[in-house]
Amino acid sequence: MEQVMRDFFLFLSKNKSMTRVAKQYGLRFGAGRFVAGETIEKAVKVIKDLNDRNLKVTIDYLGEFVDNEEEANYMADNSIEAIRAIGREKLDSQLSLKMTSMGLDISDDVVMKNMRRILKAAKENNVFVTIDMEDFARCQKTLDIFKTLKSEYDNVGTVLQAYLYRVADDIEDLKDYKPNLRLVKGAYKEPANVAFPLKKDVDDNFKKIIKMHLLNGNYTAIATHDDAIIDYTIDFVKENNIPNNLFEFQMLYGIRVERQEELSKAGYTMRVYVPYGTDWYGYFMRRLAERPANVAFIAKSMFRK
C-alpha cells in the first residue's frame, strides 16, 4: 500500500494543472510544514531562527515546469535576490537550485547564462551554490554543466542519487574535480533499468558512495533522515579519523526537527534545506511520496480551524 501511495504522489507531483491550482490558493493544507513561505522576507525569518539554534541552512526558491526564457530569467533573478539577502542579513546559508528552473530544458545558452550570473552574485556575497539533481533523463547533462561551471567557479557543488546504478561511476569520474557533493537516496520515480527498485539495495549503495567520497577526501553532505545511514556515517568517520569539517548532515525543513538539533549539539554540522516560493506543489508532493505517513498530518491540518 505504501508503494502505491508513493507512486500516486509522484504522479501528482508532475501534474501541471494541479501546480497552477496550488499557486492560486497558496500554502494551505499543511504545506507550510515543509515550505518557509512564499517570499524571501518570510524565508529570512525562518533562516534566522534556524541559525539561532546553531543550524545551518541551504535555501531554495521553488520552481518547476519552466519552459520559456522569460520565466527562466525570472527564476534566476529570484535566486540572485536570495543570495543578496543572505549576504545583506549575514545569514549562515547556502543556495540550492534546480537547473530546469534556470532553463535547462530550453537551451544551453539560457541555462549557462543564468547559472553564470547566479554564481557571480554568489561569489560576491560569499555564498555556496548547490545544483540539485533531478530525474535520470537530466542526470548526465546536469553533470556535464557542473563540470564546466566547476572549472570557472569554486563556489558550486551538485547532488548524486544513491538509487541510480551509475552513481559509483559518477563519484569516480568527478573525484579529480574535488567536488562538494550532497549525497541523497533519490526522490523521483525511475524504471528498474536505471535505478535500484529495492530499499535495501539503495541503502547499501548509499553507504558505498558515502564511503567512496569521504575516502577521496572530498567534502560530503549526507542528506538523509534515516538513522541507520546517519549512524553508519558517524561510525565510519570515527573509524577512519575523518575530521568533522569534511562532512555534514542535511535534512529537510520541518522533518525530524529534534534529531537535527541532537546532531548539532553532538558537534556535527547540521544543515536544513529550506524551500520557499509560490511554486511549492511539486516539492510538497514528493515529500508526501517519501513518507506517506505525512498524509495524516496534512489531513488534520485541513480540518483544523
What mean pLDDT do residues 195-206 have?
A: 96
CB 137 within 8 A of CB 164: no
Confidence of residue 210 (pLDDT cuts 50, 70, 90): very high
- Residue 65 exposure: Cα atoms within 13 Å on the Cβ side: 14
Residue 221: predicted pLDDT: 98
Residue 287: predicted pLDDT: 61
**Which one has a higher pLDDT value, 183 or 30?**
183
What pLDDT, in 10s, does the model give residues 114-167? Answer: 999 999 999 999 999 999 999 999 999 999 999 999 999 999 999 999 999 999
Cα-only R_g, the chain: 18
Confidence of residue 304 (pLDDT cuts 50, 70, 90): very low
What mean pLDDT do residues 264-278 have?
A: 94
Residue 5: predicted pLDDT: 45
- Catalytically active residues, by annotation: 132, 182
Residue 292: predicted pLDDT: 52
CB 223 within 8 A of CB 248: no
Distance CA 24, CA 21 (A): 5
Confidence of residue 12 (pLDDT cuts 50, 70, 90): very low
CB 192 within 8 A of CB 217: no
What pLDDT, in 10s, does the model give residues 48-104? Answer: 999 999 999 999 998 766 889 999 999 999 999 999 999 999 999 999 999 999 999
Confidence of residue 187 (pLDDT cuts 50, 70, 90): confident
What pLDDT, in 10s, does the model give residues 282-299? Answer: 666 666 666 555 544 444
Domains in the chain with CATH codes: 36-279 (3.20.20.220)
Distance CA 232, CA 220 (A): 14
**Percent of the chain at pLDDT exceeding 70:** 80
Q: Which set of grid coordinates corresponds to residue 111?
A: 541555462
In the predicted structure, residue 236 carries a pLDDT above the cut 60: yes
Cell 494541479: give the residue. 18
Residue 276: predicted pLDDT: 92
